[in-house]
Structure 1
Amino acid sequence: MQRLITAREVLAGPVGQRIKDGAVLIDGDTITAAGPREEIERAADDDALRSDHPRHAILPGLINCHVHLAFNCGQHVVDELRATDDSALLLGMAGRAQQALASGVTTVRDLGDRDGLVFQVRAAVERGELLGPRILAAGPPLTPPLGHCWFLGGEVDGPEAIRERIRRNAALGADVIKVMASGGSLTPESVSMREEQFGVAELKLIVREARDAGLPVAAHAHGSDSIAAATEAGVDTIEHCTWMRTGGEGHDRRDDVARAMVERGVRACVATPAKWREFMQVIGPASARNVVQRLRWMDDLGVPLITGTDAGVSHRSGFGDFVEALELYEHVGFPLERIIELATTGSATGIGQGDRIGRIAPGYAADLLVVEGDPLSDLAALREIRLVLTAGRVVPLP
């Protein structure tokens, strides 16, 4: 049966595409028409389910391009993950996915879980057994022996092990291959965040093998040398992209590498915690300034950006506070219309889904939300959710 939704305004996704007194017509899980209300009303069947929202805006569902459903947002996420059996972990992952969906996030890209359990969650959503967001998943991320997040099951040592891990992840149903190009804070016993875990030759091998499997590559990289190596290797997205000075203190924003990212279409997902204000207080004024300057600098140079929060890895990154994360871009100085585009159309394109999600247009998935107020005047309106649809299904709201 058709569903007709009308509103004061339809924000189709791309900057400038606003439809006053608009409507969206849905048939099953797909948008069939969007435009002025009177025009879309004429196209609707007489028995279409109708909902009217005269003080509201309709927009595409939001996209969080960097989450970890296996982590529980606690104070000791690694210990708690390792102490949790698979059945309990699956229940937690399902609950966190639903929390994201209720907040208006209709697509998540999971960039590392334990032993590929996320594929079971994704399958339950696709079968209709679990009402959850669209899930793109990497499975266990590639890392050296005892490297960053080794406990997720993706340790590799040498070319053959790299090939085998990628083949296994692809066989599990991976949508993307994740590689830990640098160290990270969750694994302090491995190399530091600033240091490389894989060289250019290994990263090129990973990219080749992933391409052979028809998959993109997302590279976790904090240090400037690991960012440079990942860019040279031809990865699709660089996660965190912190530009830490390798082998020293401070940061090393390298114009030549950033320009290479632009030329090769390598996108940056800074994955700053949703509670970025608290995070900035913890890291101190100098590092906080770098967070802002880094975003402005990459944007000024034309590095394409996508939105993500690293949800799950700490108490500062939950699954229901994505709008708070978007407020960082407002703090940096991005126009509100562009922020919404980044979190919808831009991110959909950046993760290879631009022909399916991220827009309100005929043929696109019926993933959308209705919010009270005007998010182009006040981003906080994105919290005033009145309706969420995922693949055309209505999501019960808290």
Structure 2
Amino acid sequence: MTTEVLIADLLLPGAAGEAVHDGAVHVAEGVIAAVGPVRDVLADVGPTVLRRRVRGTLLPGLIDSHVHLSFDAGSDPVGSLLDQDDEVLFAHMAARARALLDSGVTTVRDLGDRSGLAIRLRESAGLLPRILSATAPITVPGGHCWFFGGEVAGVEQMRARVRRNVRDGADLIKIMVTGGYLTPGGPSMSELQFSQEEIGAAVAEAHSAGKPVAAHAHSVTGIRAALAAGVDTIEHCSFVSDDGTERKSVFRADLARELVERGTFVCPTFSSAFTHIADSQDRAVIQPWLDLVRQQHEAGVRLIAGTDAGVPFAGFGDYVEGLRWFSRAGLPNEVVLEMATTTAAAALGLAERTGRIAPGFAADLLVVDGDPRLDLDALARPELVLVQGEPHVPRRSRATAL
């Protein structure tokens, strides 16, 4: 583990409005020792400490708050998953994690995999993003994502499954409160899969073990049930109507107020899948989702960035495209950057560990060509990534150098 000072033309510590021109970061044994103007940082280091000037902007490493490393982002990720044994699948998951690293992502939250493979990957050798794993998401028999192995029926099985996931090494618990579009023959996005008692039992059991809960919830009823149970994050949070009309999403100010009052984080899962829809169908198809996110932001809902990478057309190598869609929805670039760094870290329980460039934090850093506050496309030009101080040169940057 090296000790060095990185010097950049522009340093963005994390929060919107914070910027240091001609800034520097002192990295020692994988941890940020100091940050600030170059002259101040260099005044406190010895003459033998390596100085490295990097081109462009230095900012915190990005966080993808919602991925499925076990899916391949093809047109039939479930079929591909079922066709692969664990060893083949594990190799593909490692390659997908490396693709995220090449995109500047230093932390990922995997919200559903098979056989504990994300935990195995988390503990494997080699430089990869930090991985938080939910192991098998909890669902009803034959329910949404049943194929991951987390099926339960009733309160007692729910509690037992939470305990098992914790024993298996889960960093958090994922519960499928509603159905979804990905599971053939499964419950729809508007259908509630669990009773309020069952959801509450999952949250109580998880919180007693010190584990947060992420709830997959699309419908208004599902979102309300998740909030009433006290979940920590809501994935998708699509405001889908309860009348069975798939993907009909209408903003509810009362529901937004409850999200704000409870301080619940929302991950809308914007990704390159939106681009595929816009190109193959019509942008008007996804405009309601853009409007919904803008309205949630304006209402004060705490939004975080996550791509649902692995589902159809949500690739692992284009994290930035999801951020572009937030910008297209009308959110300011600096807010989007916070969603991908500081706010995401808070949602994942890592607020004192990563997501900011500050003394004592892990040296999860990203150098990009350009100023992402002015143009998020700068994030698509990563020059250098550090994960807990370990440097990685992205493939794009290596190709440019060659």
Q: TM-score range by the shorter chain?
A: over 0.9
Relative to 1, partners in 2 of residues 1:174 and 1:396: Cα closer, same or farther, differing over 3 Å? same
Partner of 1:264: 262
The superposition leaves residues 268-309 of structure 1 with CA deviations (integer Å, 9 ceiling, x where unpaired) of: 101123242322455655542211110111112111101001
The answer to whether the aligner puts 1:211 opposite 2:207 as a matched pair is yes
Percent identity over the alignment is 46
Cα pair 2:249 2:289 within 8 Å, conserved: no
Asked if 1:274 is matched to 2:272, the reply is yes
Equivalents in 2 of 1:284, 1:201: separation in Å? 41
The amino acid of 1:139's aligned partner reads: T
| SS in structure 1 of the partner of residue 33 of structure 2 | strand
Deviations 1:56-86 (A, max 9, x none): 1100000000000011112211111011111
Look up the match of 1:21.
22
SS of the equivalent of 1:214 reads: coil
* Aligned-partner residue type, residue 366 of structure 2: L
How far off is 1:381 after superposition? 0.9
Tell me which amino acid in the other structure corresponds to 1:319: F
Q: After alignment, is 14-23 or 249-258 more displaced?
A: 249-258
- Aligned-pair Cα RMSD in Å: 1.3
| One-letter code aligned to 1:296 | R
Deviation readout 1:314-352 (Å, 9 max, x if unpaired): 1x2111111111001111122212211111011111111
Shift of 1:357: 0.3
Aligned to 1:319: 316
The DSSP-based 3-state class of the residue aligned with 2:302 is coil
Change (3 A) 1:280 1:246: farther
Aligned partner of 2:126 among 125, 130, 134: 130
How far did residue 98 of structure 1 move?
Answer: 0.8
Question: Could you give the per-residue CA deviations for residues 78-108 of structure 1, whole angstroms, max 9, x where no partner exists?
Answer: 1110111111111111111111011100000
Q: Which amino acid in the other structure matches residue 91 of structure 1?
A: A
- Structure 1: how far apart are the matches of 2:252 and 2:196? 17
Counterparts of 1:283 and 1:258, CA distance in 2: 29
Length-normalised TM-score, structure 1? 0.96
What's the counterpart of residue 44 of structure 2? 43
- In the alignment, the residues of structure 2 paired with residue 248 and residue 153 of structure 1 have an alpha-carbon distance, to the nearest angstrom, of 27
Describe the SS at the equivalent of 1:374: coil
Task: Give unpaired runs (5+ residues) of structure 1.
Answer: none
Q: What is the CA distance between 1:256 and its match in structure 2? A: 1.8
1:150 counterpart = 2:146: yes
Tell me, in whole angstroms, the C-alpha distance in 2 between the residues paired with 1:252 and 1:200: 23
Matches of 2:48 and 2:153, distance apart in 1 = 60
Classify the secondary structure of the residue corresponding to 1:100: helix
1:334 to 311, 327, 331: 331
Other-structure match for 1:235: 231
The TM-score with structure 2 as length reference comes to 0.95
Contact 1:59/1:368 (8 A) holds in 2? yes
Which residue pairs with 1:226 in the alignment? 222
Aligned to 2:340: 343
Deviation at 1:164, TM superposition (A): 1.1
**Residues 296 and 394 of structure 1: is their aligned pair in 2 closer, same or farther, counting only changes over 3 Å?**
same
